[in-house]
């Protein structure tokens, strides 16, 4: 079993309620769904039956609530987007007028899948993974230290400021 599959099955407490063939071609010929559902949440993973690689994980409230998170392996995201375009489907749409909250961090989606169904506290924000050169990281750490905050807090503030400026 792959480490991803092990993390996913552990996150859902090994409770698999359904599964089916994944009919799109973007993840290859061996892609299947694994589902874990109850009255409140639906959790799904698309994985490869041969390699056990996970391509996509999502969690949503059963009745179209605000909670809807999704992770797609970045190595396959372009192929997924292209197939969605060919099918005339908005790749990031959960349902009409509701989009997924996309995360590009596998550990973030596993944390949400583990905690949300149990009613445990979780971080509702999505995690972005940044790969920084050492000199850029040192510069950001120094700037964060001057403000008495962590590098993560500094980057979050910077991103919020850029988003705010873009919206104005």
pLDDT tens-digit readout, 83-120: 999 999 999 888 767 788 899 899 999 999 999 888 88
- Going by C-beta distance under 8 Å and a sequence separation of 6 or more, which residues neighbour residue 95? 64
Which element (helix H / strand E) includes 163?
helix 151-167
User: Which pTM value belongs to this model?
Assistant: 0.80
Is residue 75 within 8 Å of 54, Cβ to Cβ?
no
- Cα separation, 38 vs 45, in Å, equals 15
| Residue 56 in tokens | 């996509």
Separation between Cα atoms, residue 73 and residue 59, nearest integer Å: 15
| CB atoms closer than 10 angstroms to residue 11 | 22
pLDDT in tens, 23-72: 999 999 999 999 998 888 899 999 999 999 999 999 988 666 678 999 99
**pLDDT tops 70 at residue 22:** yes
């Amino acid at each position: 079993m792959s480490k991803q599959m092990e993390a996913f099955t552990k996150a859902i407490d090994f409770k698999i309620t359904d599964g089916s063939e994944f009919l799109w071609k973007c993840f290859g010929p061996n892609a299947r769904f694994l589902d874990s559902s109850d009255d409140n949440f639906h959790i799904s993973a698309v994985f490869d039956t041969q390699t056990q690689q996970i391509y996509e994980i999502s969690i949503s409230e059963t009745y179209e609530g605000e909670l809807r998170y999704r992770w797609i392996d970045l190595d396959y995201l372009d192929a997924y987007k292209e197939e969605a375009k060919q099918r005339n489907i908005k790749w990031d749409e959960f349902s009409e007028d509701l989009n997924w909250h996309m995360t590009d961090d596998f550990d973030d989606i596993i944390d949400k899948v583990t905690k949300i169904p149990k009613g445990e506290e979780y971080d509702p924000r999505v995690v972005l993974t940044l790969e920084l050169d050492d000199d850029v990281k040192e510069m950001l750490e120094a700037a964060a230290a001057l403000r008495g905050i962590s590098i993560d807090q500094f980057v979050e503030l910077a991103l919020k400021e850029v988003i705010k400026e873009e919206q104005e």
